Amino acid sequence: MESCHTYSLRFLVVLSLCMSLFSGADAEASMLPRPFNNNISAGYVFGDSTVDPGNNNFVQTIFKSNFPPYGKDFRGQTPTGRFTNGKLSTDLVVSYIGIKEYLPPYLDPNLSIEELMTGVSFASAGTGLDPFTAQISSVISLPKQLEYFREYKTRVQSAIGKKRMEAIIKDAVFLVSCGTNDFIVNYFTVPVRRKTYTVSAYQQFVLQNLKQVLQDLWDEGARRIAVSGLPPMGCLPAIITLYSENAILERGCIEKFSRVGMEYNQMLQNELNSMQGRLAHLGAKITYIDIFTPLIDMIQGLGKHDFDEVSHGCCGSGLVEAGFLCNPKSFVCMDASKYVFFDSIHPTEKTYTKLSMASRPVVDFMIQN
């Protein structure tokens, strides 16, 4: 039985770490061929720190990364609020499609109408599909992100008219990337949900909340929607550190957490396939993005030979540092491209690039007429 001290340590460290995941190297990203046929007007993103380019800079929360060493390999070595050393996967995807180089945060007050028209991210690091997850971290919930999207539509309509605004939404791609915090920060760390839900019941609860998000997006005009699955949560350096018997010597993945992610991902795939089948005649393209398989391959499979370090982050000791624990006073590795993870939770830009390349078939499907 865990002591109060052990529980409190896990709660504080996980709460200060787990905002979510992923990044890749500019050199590799520049080699990505772009599709010949670009029919996409804009990109819109909802979710957590896997896809938050800096919305939390404008929120009263500790879940921020707008300080070094974050952004050390970004243009101008700028810490933008992205939880990585460079670009996020969403930046790489909109660049591949040919929309623009970076997907900006919606809450940036300096965005022009032209920038807004080609898409933004509404994501907020630390959030989840369970409303309680956002409350724990004092960040932007998914319902609030959808509220911002409705506000966005009103702003764009005021500038260019309703007909043009609706055309942009119809021809845009939408991505939802969320769920890791629900399990790592919420269910397995804070005992509230565990008193009410079994793991399987909580998986269903999270999925039901996602289905509501997708229904709301559909009602707002979204027709091309991709949803990312969960990563192998047991392979995150912070989780290895917190839940291993001897985390210094034994850096293997914690199977319990990864198995929960695999089970949820299968449920998610089944639901998305069902939705696609029901709505295909209405022009829907609703699909699943697998990040679990390529990431586990980078860590445990043949792909691990592309990296020198797969179980420590580049920042600090690589064991627990993330968010404010990874800061200007932290030791930082010389070459982040040799690491799967930049901090103890979030991958490097090289990892994001490889994930983006792995998802290209899904992206190509989304942008076809």
pLDDT band at 10 (very low <50, low <70, confident <90, very high): low
What are the extents of the domains in the chain?
Answer: 4-367
Catalytic residue flag (residue 343): yes
The reported pLDDT for the residue numbered 248 is 80
Q: Which residue has the tokens 């709460």?
A: 15
pLDDT at 223 over 90: yes
d(CA 359, CA 315): 27
- 95, 311, 343, 344: which is the annotated catalytic residue? 343
Question: Which residue is listed with tokens 């909802």?
Answer: 46
- Return d(Cα 131, Cα 175) in angstroms, integer: 19
pLDDT > 70 in the chain, percent: 90
Q: Which amino acid is present at 197?
A: Y
The average pLDDT across 173-178 equals 98
Q: Annotate 197-259 with DSSP letters as a single string.
A: --HHHHHHHHHHHHHHHHHHHHHTT--EEEEE----GGGSHHHHHHH-SSTTT-----HHHHH
At residue 79, what is the residue type? Answer: P
Q: Tell me whether residue 337 is one of the annotated catalytic residues.
A: no
Rounded to whole angstroms, the Cα distance separating 315 from 304 reads 19
> Which is more confidently placed, 2 or 208?
208
Q: Is 346 a catalytic residue?
A: yes
pLDDT at residue 14, as a whole number: 52
Model pLDDT, residue 38: 63
Longest Cα separation, the chain: 62
Q: Exactly one of 23, 49, 65, 344 is catalytic; which is it?
A: 49
DSSP, residue by residue, 259-318: HHHHHHHHHHHHHHHHHHHHHGGGT-EEEEE--HHHHHHHHHSGGGGG-SEEEEESBTTS
For the chain, the residue count is 369
Burial 134-165 (b: 16+ CB within 10 A, else e): bebbebbbbeebbebbeebbebbeeeeeeeeb
Asked whether the predicted pLDDT for residue 9 surpasses 50, the reply is no
Class of domain 4-367: alpha beta
- The mean per-residue pLDDT over the stretch 189-207 comes to 96
Q: Looking at the predicted structure, is the pLDDT value of residue 7 above 90?
A: no
**Structure token pair of residue 344:** 């103890």
Specify the DSSP element, H or E, that contains 165: helix 162-170
Q: Exposed e or buried b for every residue in 176-195, given b needs 16+ CB within 10 A? A: bbbbbbbbbbbbbbeeebee
Task: Write down the catalytic residue from 312, 346, 356, 359.
Answer: 346
HSE-up of residue 165 (Cα within 13 Å, Cβ side):
17
Amino acid at 25: A
pLDDT at 8 over 70: no
Question: Model confidence over 11-55: pLDDT tens digits?
Answer: 445 554 444 333 334 444 443 444 444 689 999 999 999 999 999
What is the mean predicted confidence (pLDDT) over 82-89?
98
The torsion region of residue 183 among left (phi > 0), alpha (psi -120 to 50) and beta comes to alpha
pLDDT of residue 185: 94
Question: Higher confidence at residue 7 or residue 187?
Answer: 187
